[in-house]
Amino acid sequence: MNPVPRFDPADPYPDSDGAPMAENTLQFDWIVKIKENLEILFADRPDVFVAGDLFWYPVQDRRLANPMAPDAMVVFGRPKGPRGSYKQWEEDGIAPQVVFEVQSPSNGPKELRDKLEFYDTHGAAEYYLYDPERNRLEVWLRQDGRLAPVAYVNGWTSPRLGIRFALRAETLEIFDPAGRPFLSPVELARRARQAEKQAREAEEQAREAAARAAQEHARAEQENVRAEQERARAEQADARAAQERTRAEQADARAAQERARAEQADARAEQLAERLRALGIDPGAAG
């Protein structure tokens, strides 16, 4: 989006200039990729506002400055939420710290100079300009109060965002602080579907593993029950054997008693016979 060309007192802060956000699909895809991945990067930071193609009004007096609409911008220290435009005086005076522009074929040298001058004048700390047609990246970093060009950008890491830029032979690659590449919405959706599929498969595998574990546990319980039964039967058999041994010992004791009584009877009979013989009586003849 280009700056509003003129000041209308009846509508001093319009939200749009009526121009399209991008001139071609390549430029549009890059704008969306950068903006959406920045949204994802700071999704858990309520104090970081990310926007794309949103008018930034740096001062309230329109006679002093027209707005600019960066293709993407990041503002630290401001809450998330919908805005028709970014009016800096209503945002605690905080200027967007990081701005991105994706160059289109119609962006002439003067327009690019105007953008750089705007961001330099109104406090941007980092400015990134990418030309997807020529695969060219330019970076400016605020130093000593001014935006100064960075000499070597391949492998450059944003001081505030922590993202890394890698210029390949055919295109630019951007990586988040964890090393994950910025992806297009289609790629993000594909990754999300793949992650959901993997999650479902993992859940199904977990259910199957839990079922197998339950079966193994049931079998182990059954084995334990059988082992307990076997031990009980063995103990019963041992008890019966002990009872049999006791009965046998008692029978042996009774037999020994019977033998002892028989021996005693024989001894008494022999004693009686001896007395009879002493009296001159033949015990055998007495019958």
Q: Are residues 223 and 120 in the same domain?
A: no
Residue 15 resides in a domain: no
Q: Are residues 44 and 174 in the same domain?
A: yes
Which of 153, 182, 211 lies at the terminal end of a domain, its last residue? 182
Say what the pLDDT of residue 111 is. 93
Residue 61 resides in a domain: yes
Give the position of tokens 């001014």: 146
Instruction: Let me know the angle formed at the C-alpha of 77 by 72 and 82, rounded to the nearest 5 degrees.
Output: 55
Which of 118, 148, 182 lies at the terminal end of a domain, its last residue? 182
Q: Are residues 190 and 89 in the same domain?
A: no
Residue 234 resides in a domain: yes
Say what the pLDDT of residue 14 is. 62
Whether 38 contacts 161, CB under 8 Å: yes
Say what the pLDDT of residue 187 is. 86
Q: Are residues 118 and 164 in the same domain?
A: yes
Q: Report, as ranges of residue numbers, the positions in the chain whose pLDDT lies below 50.
A: 1
Distance CA 205, CA 15 (A): 52
Residue 4 resides in a domain: no
What CATH number is given to the structural domain containing 166?
A: 3.90.1570.10
Q: Rg of the chain's alpha carbons, rounded to an integer?
A: 51
Say what the pLDDT of residue 1 is. 47
Q: Are residues 178 and 188 in the same domain?
A: no
Nearest to 102 by CA among 29, 38, 165: 29
Whether 132 contacts 167, CB under 8 Å: no
Nearest to 118 by CA among 171, 68, 192: 68
Q: Are residues 62 and 103 in the same domain?
A: yes
Which 3 state secondary structure label does DSSP give 118? helix
Q: Are residues 241 and 161 in the same domain?
A: no
Q: Are residues 165 and 189 in the same domain?
A: no
Please classify residue 184 by burial: count the beta carbons closer than 10 Å to its beta carbon, then call 0-12 exposed, 13-18 middle and 19+ buried: middle
- Half-sphere exposure (Cβ direction) of 39: Cα atoms closer than 13 Å: 15
In degrees and rounded to multiples of 5, residue 210 shows phi and psi of -65, -40
Q: Are residues 178 and 193 in the same domain?
A: no
Say what the pLDDT of residue 286 is. 54
Residue 48 resides in a domain: yes
Please give the residue range of the domain that contains residue 263: 184-277
In degrees and rounded to multiples of 5, residue 229 shows phi and psi of -65, -45
Structural domain count of the chain? 2
DSSP 180: P
Residue 52 resides in a domain: yes
Residue 46: which residues within 8 A CB-CB, separation 6 or more?
Answer: 79, 80
Residue 222 resides in a domain: yes
Which of 182, 200, 231 lies at the terminal end of a domain, its last residue? 182
Q: Are residues 70 and 97 in the same domain?
A: yes
Please classify residue 112 by burial: count the beta carbons closer than 10 Å to its beta carbon, then call 0-12 exposed, 13-18 middle and 19+ buried: middle
Q: Are residues 192 and 140 in the same domain?
A: no
Q: Are residues 59 and 86 in the same domain?
A: yes
Residue 42 resides in a domain: yes
**Tokens at residue 248, please?**
């046998």
Nearest to 147 by CA among 99, 108, 109: 99
**Which sign, positive or negative, has the C-alpha torsion 179, 74, 141, 28?**
positive
